[in-house]
Amino acid sequence: MSNKNRFNVQEAQNLQLGQRGWTYIGDTDSHSGVWVKIIFLTDTVFTTLTDANGSGTLTGVTFPAGREIVGNFTVIDLASGSIWALKG
């Protein structure tokens, strides 16, 4: 069963605002959890970025500072850069 509609409108808006908290990641360690938005604080490259609902790969792509992406991220490993990951 898909989880893509597991939040009502208010809960979804709260997630976008970071109401469940956030994680700062600025190292090359492997981080596991559930995050719904990634905000790039500096130019960032991933070693691993796993989206439970996505397909394809975003590894090796440079994301510029100030950009954001949304998804259902479960594993984040940076090659370089720093991010805020909003918890889902």
In our burial notation (b when 16+ CB lie closer than 10 A, e otherwise), range 29-63 reads: eebeeebbbbbbeeebebeebbbeeeeeeeeeeeb
Instruction: Give the pLDDT score at 13.
Output: 67
CA proximity to 87, closest of 5, 25, 2, 9: 25
* C-beta of residue 65 within 8 angstroms of C-beta of residue 43: yes
pLDDT, position 31: 97
Question: How high is the pLDDT of residue 18?
Answer: 66
pLDDT score of 15: 61
Model pTM score: 0.79
pLDDT in tens, the chain (88 residues): 455 566 677 776 666 666 778 999 999 999 999 999 999 999 999 999 999 888 777 888 999 999 999 999 999 999 999 999 999 8
Residue ranges of the domains in the chain?
Answer: 21-87
